Chain A
Amino acid sequence: MTRLLVGPFNRVEGDLEVSLDIEDDAVASARVTTPLYRGFEQILVGRPMADALAIAPRICGICSVSQSMAAAAALRALYGVARAPNGVVAANLAHAAENMADHLTHFYIFFMPDFARAQYAGRSWHEAARRRFKAIEGAAANEVLQARRRLLEIMGILAGKWPHSLAFQPGGTTCAVDLGQKAQLVAIARDFRRFLEAIVFTAPLAVPLGLRTPEELERYCEGKGADGDFAAFCRIARALDLENLGRAANPLMSYGAYRGEAGAFLNAGVFDPIASALSPLDARAIREDVSHAYMRDGPEEPSLARTEPYVDKPDAYSFAKAPRLHGRPAEVGAVARLAVHGHPLVRALLERSRGSNVFVRVVARLIELAMVAEAAEGWAKALALNEPFCVVAPHDEDGDGVGLVEAARGSLGHWLGAQKGKIRSYQIIAPTTWNFSPRDASGVAGPVEQALVGAPLEGHGAGAASVQHVIRSFDPCMVCTAH
């Protein structure tokens, strides 16, 4: 058996290292290391609780709105207030813009360029993939960055700037939209939908959104969608059998996304891909294990937990803690959200593979992109200009609040405790902490560590594309992981 170290990774948010044990030219076991730590949970303690709204988003420059939403939700729970309905819609729209930008960036800038690798030279699809998706040089990057820039103007209008927007408050959003701005928001959302229809799906959104079975997906990729980048991915995925790469069969968890007066746009819950069974989410069953994290031992319940680094700890190999739901790892992200929500195509693909895999993770991301793009246009139109965007939140000085939201990469939770108006404790569990979790005290590996097992290296060792596909299918965001 040999051991390989993969890293430093490129096209990943933050630093990441992966250590692989190799047998018979395939991965026998994997350890995922998050090698950076800044100490947000330590920095937040003792500050005025509302300052969490400015500090917590700085955890990540890619999903800062998600962090804002979680901090605002935790404060809202603590205050016991509801948001102004317009504030809910505006926040959903802004959050959708960020999440869509993330999905788009992941697909085009981080994930697809690996198919342009020299390792694949000679494959029938390689030359086309190289021309379209190669990092920096591929034709797609220009179109995508342009569409993304335009999409993020939504953030400018609703939240002043992006990244690190400030407009999200416990009672709503600070920016009351006027008629001109509303017209702009609707136009931006519409332009983005058109971009997806023209470039990604080559069909009206209703077509990809209507796909219910893997067979329908195949027919779409040969027919209406054939010229789009989504179909290009599906064809490469079939050629490389990505449905049998990066398989993991953990419970799929979602906190529920884009809440509104009528409930969440995407439901909360836990889906078991082996039993094909859905169960309600009990967030009180979440614990954090630190047996292999460079952290001191302490309570495992997030609301009581402390985060104190201990870099000389024996057996530790990552700054990430190991979150567990009912004692088990859980996979989070678009595939979990759509599985929990009951999307037929995603459920069918999960059933066929008896777990998640590289293919279904990417498919779910793109289907979700289409779903949210369609909804976002409706949200922009739903803003009621003369109604309030923010209500005054009475400032309770003591208590606890939990904010659970869905970032692009999956479930994000903030657990906040306050005393005399100051933050007494703050604990964050980010999506990538779930997916890139190290082993726990029982030796159970996290989802990515499990998914890497069996990946064929085909003689390429640490440079094998298969390893890159598996890791990137989870869209790692390492600065969130250990924050």
Chain B
Amino acid sequence: MAAIETFYDVIRRQGVTRRSFTKFCSLTAASLGMGPIGAAKIANALETKERTPVIWMHGLECTCCSESFIRSAHPLVKDVVLSMISLDYDDTIMAAAGHQAEAILQETKEKYKGKYILAVEGNPPLNEGGMFCIDGGKPFVEKLKWMAEDAMAIIAWGACASWGCVQAAKPNPTQATPIDKVIHDKPIIKVPGCPPIAEVMTGVVTYITTFGRLPELDRQGRPNMFYSQRIHDKCYRRPHFDAGQFVEQWDDESARKGHCLYKMGCKGPTTYNACSTVRWNGGVSFPIQSGHGCIGCSEEGFWDKGPFYERLTNIHQFGVEKNADEIGLAAAGLVGAAVVTHAAATAVKRIVSKNNDHSA
């Protein structure tokens, strides 16, 4: 029997040390919330299982997902994952060009039938027979369907592939369409965000290539490990929301004190993503930390839920104690019903804790 090529063989051949490999496994296990045994599990899988090829294709998109991905926080994660994807096919960084590149797709499709992962950044536009995204002389939608036929699973990178994103905003001139509306017979994992966070992307791709199955998904097809909490739930400005301390204008005194950006249009209360925990650019920051509200870029159809900067004019200065509820109610029309529930829950909590205070 011919020796199988494992992922570990590949990275060792590329000069990654054993020590670095171990570190990669523990970092990834941590980011996936797998606990101390997780690292050993990942290491074992990578050392013994046949390497899973990843094909990375681009439809209608802006390449922000790739840009986010290739500057992963930990350089090693970047090396390892880049090696993993680029060994096969990637539009943005591969060496092969033209027909040579097309041949790689054909070869992967045959040699790894049912075993490769198809990572898709962007989406197919269906209007005018797919004319708005022509790749190698053919509509992208054809290439997508062709490569999806023999894939094990599909990763929908970013808001474009997951929901349609900006090009699908009204009036959606090209009829840009999320990939799950075009591919129906394969498991699809959605990793929304515009772009998704680098660590979320590396975490997801590592999980799938390591274990050969998808992580646990929510009802919308997103991995629970990264999308089960709202930005608001873990936002460091949250105490100021609860205390009714709000920014009124960019860079005002409240902004400098780190008060809540809700009145500047922040969509953190209705957005599910890991920005406030994982953060961006190597954990340095995230939009709210730079004084700008969340625009909700990982949510379905968020472009048509604007305006992004509409200020809530019906909220006036009021006492510290009860304003969170008032704001939640006043904002309901703008941000959605979830906020009402959330504000109510906050109010209940406060009442309970107040009562506790009284009884203590």
Contacts and interface: CB of A to CB of B under 8 A. Distances in A.
A148 B75 CA distance: 11
Interface string A331-368: 00000000000000000000000000000000000000
B94 A10 contact: yes
A221 interface: no
Given A5-B137, A38-B60, A167-B290, A11 B251 contact: no
Contacts of A64: 62, 64
A59 B58 CA distance: 15
Interface in A368-402: 388-390, 392
B136 A43 contact: no
Contacts of B297: 164
A404 B120 CA distance: 34
A155 B281 CA distance: 8
B98 A463 contact: yes
B167 A153 contact: no
Interface in A49-86: 50-51, 53-55, 58-62, 64, 84
A172 B95 contact: no
Nearest to B251: A390
A58 B288 contact: no
A380 B330 CA distance: 41
B166 A55 contact: yes
A42 B68 contact: no
Band of interface residues on B: 35 or more
B17 interface: no
Contacts of A392: 249-250
A159 B279 CA distance: 12
A221 B81 CA distance: 36
Contacts of A258: none
A166 B66 CA distance: 19
Q: By CB atoms of chain B within 10 A, which of A48, A113, A162 has the most? A: A162
Nearest to B282: A153
Nearest to B82: A136
A134 interface: yes
Contacts of B3: none
A201 to B, nearest CB: 23
B287 A166 contact: yes
Contacts of B308: 48, 50-51, 53-54
Interface in A425-483: 462-463, 468, 479
Given A35-B133, A43-B167, A390-B250, A174 B292 contact: yes
Contacts of B165: 58
B146 interface: no
A309 B167 CA distance: 14
A10 B306 CA distance: 36
A161 interface: yes
A473 B93 CA distance: 16
Interface in B53-109: 58, 60-68, 70-73, 75, 78-79, 82-83, 86, 91-98, 100-102
Contacts, number: 247
Given A42-B173, A158-B290, A14 B93 contact: no
Nearest to A5: B137
B174 A61 contact: no
Interface of B is mostly: loop
A149 B173 contact: no
B21 to A, nearest CB: 16
Contacts of A37: 132-133, 173-174
Given A135-B94, A174-B255, A309-B132, A149 B75 contact: yes
B292 A15 contact: no
A460 to B, nearest CB: 11
B324 to A, nearest CB: 23
A176 B279 CA distance: 19
B287 A311 contact: no
B285 A161 contact: yes
Contact of A166 (B95, B97, B176, B290): B290
B281 A156 contact: yes
Contacts of B82: 136, 145
A39 B167 contact: yes
A134 B95 contact: yes
A134 B275 CA distance: 35
Contacts of A59: 62
Task: Name the residue among A7, A37, A294, A311 with the largest chain B CB count within 10 angstroms.
Answer: A37
A471 to B, nearest CB: 11
Most chain A beta-carbon neighbours within 10 Å: one of B65, B132, B303: B132
B63 A39 contact: no
A6 interface: yes
B334 to A, nearest CB: 13
A11 B94 contact: yes
Interface string A115-133: 0100000000000000000
Interface size bracket, A side: 35 or more
Contacts of B71: 145, 148-149, 152
B95 A10 contact: yes
A159 B66 contact: no
B42 interface: no
A463 B98 CA distance: 8
Contacts of B286: 160-161
Contacts of A7: 98, 136
A169 B94 contact: no
A137 B75 CA distance: 15
B284 A135 contact: no
A134 B94 CA distance: 10
A20 B72 CA distance: 39
Interface in A159-203: 159-167, 169, 171-176
A5 B65 CA distance: 29
B45 interface: no
Interface in A26-54: 35-40, 42-43, 47-48, 50-51, 53-54
Contacts of A163: 62, 64, 67-68, 195
A157 interface: yes
B101 A10 contact: yes
B128 interface: yes
B284 A175 contact: no
A61 B284 contact: no
Contacts of B280: 156, 160-162
A14 B60 CA distance: 8
B118 interface: no
B112 interface: no
Nearest to B285: A156
A386 to B, nearest CB: 10
Contacts of B60: 36, 38
Contacts of B72: 149
B233 to A, nearest CB: 18
Nearest to B100: A463
A146 interface: yes
Closest 9 pairs (CB-CB, A-B) = A61-B64, A156-B281, A156-B284, A160-B290, A39-B173, A135-B95, A161-B280, A174-B291, A160-B287
20 contacts: A8-B135, A10-B92, A35-B134, A50-B308, A50-B309, A51-B308, A51-B309, A53-B308, A58-B165, A61-B62, A64-B62, A135-B93, A164-B194, A164-B297, A166-B292, A173-B291, A311-B132, A463-B98, A468-B97, A479-B62
